[in-house]
A and B are shown apart, each in its own frame.
Chain A
Amino acid sequence: MPKASPQTSRHALTARIGPVAVAILLVVLLVLPHYLDNYSLRLATTVFMYCVLAWSWNFIGGFVGYPSFGIAAFFGLGSYVGAIMLTQDMIPFWLSPACAAVVCLVVAALLGAPILRLRGHYFAVASLALGEVFRELAMNWTAVTGGGMGVNLPPLRSSLGTDSQVFYYMFLLLALVTFAVTVAVGRSRLGVAFRCIRQNEEAANMIGIDATRVKIIAFALSAAFPGAAGALYASWVGYIDPSDVFDIIISVKAPVMALLGGVGTVAGPAIGAFLYLAFEEIVWRNLLQFHAAVLGLIIVLLVLFLPNGFVDVTRRRKILDGAS
């Protein structure tokens, strides 16, 4: 027992500091737009969007351990749901993310039942195919989606502030909601069920966990938030087309960010999103020709040296301290 005591006191410390740090960060983020130029504001908004995608992937990929490449499918679906509803003047702007989230939740729950029978690589490929199928649908269902011509969205013209500021706060709010749900799920019975399934699905069934239902919930959660993010994104950029919003790179980015920060943790995906965007801005700008190669290199290095992400670095040092 004495071995456990420094760890528990450290836990207590982080538990006390955690909420305070989050509160300070929140205040900083709330006043930040008034001090940022448009370029920085766009970057900050993108970080929030990436956080949403990484946390979303974390539900199915991190907690449950099913390597989904389906984020783009629901990001795209959400952006089309939002775009179509807004151009038809069916709903006010602020309601479009919620509508997109609900549609994505339902679609993912329906598709999850057949897809989640597959495991490992098979599931990964099936989830990847979802995005491609949706893209083809958007391409060819011209009457509704405008096909390859894409959709132009009405400008915001909000009285609350400049468009950049409004989208900053909307994405911040969405990121906070995703974060809150991640924390809540992580502490609930559902979170325990997620972790049991990741470690041993058969044993999870044997202790009374309805693995199929639990996996569908995780998949639906990992679809709803990207859907909302897609709807916001559509309004933000003002124009969407199938190859933009169903881009496979979105499905790759989400797990890479989560891996970068720490899979299956609460803070990891956000840290990963921040690191990834910093990397994207600094390196890719200077290496335009090679950015895909560099992305591949990051994935390889991550798998080799940091399979549990940056969050794990502190944990690993602790283990080394204990050994010496």
Chain B
Amino acid sequence: MTALLELKGLSRRFGGLMAVSDVTLDIKPGSIVGLIGPNGAGKTTLVNLISGALKPNAGEMWFKGTRIDGLAAHKISGLGIARTFQVVQPFPEMTALENVAAAAMFAGKAGSLREANARAEAMLERVGLGGLGATSAASLSLGQRKRLEFAKSLAMRPSLLLLDEVNAGLHGSEIDAAIALIRSLAQDGLTILIIEHLVKLVVALCDEVAVLHHGQLIARGPSADITNDPRVIEAYLGERYSKRGQNQQRVTDAAR
């Protein structure tokens, strides 16, 4: 099966720092891929590159057979890549409904204001903000604003959704609701790339996990295997822990 999104040798430098370095990754249609890595690994930079907020210094990006590196952000979102922001970015002077309707109107290519509003209603309902449409976006709680970001992205009718730490700052029940929502979206056939800090959550949700460390893709595979990969443990916890893990493995192997 051909990939929906293909990154080939993607790099982005900030001064002397390689924030993203030679990343090659493909995402198959209909899959949920997790992207994990410690703080400063380059996860958000990678999302910024894919969504067009930043331009890569080297490498290629292909989406549905179109080369998209170098395209402006509004063009990329028009092609069907939607993203949420780690730090939520609503239009504060607009109501929740207007926020979502604006997304439906432009990248979502809604034919009329009525169609945009109707779609916005449906999306608010879907993310659990039904009835809050007339509320100003500025007066929503953080959890609600995260869901508003979700609704905006969905109103764009994307084929690929990039979720940048949608669960950061949320408490238990809100995270559960978000997980349920992501699962239901995946069931509808949406392809999702989740950038997450919480490894446990990624393992639970994703078919496949990619691990970024110092801007490089250090591991990739089915989510169950990835947490046992010594390189991943080393990236997260340091060398000592990964060695200890290996030693323990050896000890248990020997005991058998």
Contacts and interface: CB of A to CB of B under 8 A. Distances in A.
Contacts of B98: 192
Interface in A1-33: 1, 4
Interface in A197-241: 199-200, 202-212
Contacts of A205: 52-53, 72-74, 77
Nearest to A199: B91
B74 A196 contact: no
Interface string B79-99: 000110100011111100010
A206 B77 contact: yes
B51 interface: yes
Chain B facing A: main interface SS:
loop
Contacts of B85: 203, 206
A212 B107 CA distance: 15
A204 B93 CA distance: 13
B106 A200 contact: no
A206 B102 contact: no
Contacts of B74: 205-206, 208-211
Contacts of A317: none
A208 B77 contact: yes
A207 B107 contact: yes
Nearest to B107: A208
A208 B78 contact: yes
Contacts of A209: 74, 106
B108 A208 contact: yes
A196 B103 CA distance: 10
Contacts of A1: 131, 134
Given A206-B83, A208-B107, A196 B91 contact: yes
Given A4-B134, A202-B53, A203-B85, A208 B106 contact: yes
Nearest to A189: B105
**Of A192, A202, A207, most B-chain CB atoms within 10 Å:** A207
A303 B145 CA distance: 30
Contacts of B109: 208
B242 to A, nearest CB: 38
B152 interface: yes
Contacts of A195: 91, 93-94
B209 to A, nearest CB: 25
A8 to B, nearest CB: 9
B192 interface: no
Interface residues of B, number: 31
Nearest to A213: B74
Chain A facing B: main interface SS:
helix
Nearest to A264: B93
A48 B250 CA distance: 87
A200 B53 CA distance: 13
Interface string A178-204: 000000000001001101100110111
Contacts of A189: 105-106, 113
B79 to A, nearest CB: 9
Contact of A192 (B89, B105, B107, B152): B105
A200 B105 contact: no
Contacts of A200: 89-92
Contacts of B92: 199-200
B178 interface: no
Given A195-B93, A199-B93, A207 B53 contact: no
Contacts of B93: 195, 199
B195 interface: no
Given A195-B94, A202-B53, A202-B89, A210 B72 contact: yes
Contact of A203 (B52, B91, B131, B156): B91
Contacts of B51: 206
A199 B102 CA distance: 12
B71 to A, nearest CB: 11
B47 to A, nearest CB: 11
A27 B53 CA distance: 52
Contacts of A211: 74
A61 to B, nearest CB: 16
A206 B73 contact: yes
A199 to B, nearest CB: 4
Contacts of A4: 134
Nearest to B131: A1
Interface string B10-29: 00000000000000000000
A205 B82 CA distance: 11
A198 to B, nearest CB: 8
A33 to B, nearest CB: 40
Contacts of B107: 206-208
List the 9 closest pairs (A to B, CB-CB), nearest first: A208-B107, A208-B106, A203-B89, A205-B73, A207-B103, A199-B91, A208-B77, A210-B74, A208-B78
5 contacts: A192-B105, A199-B94, A205-B72, A206-B53, A208-B74
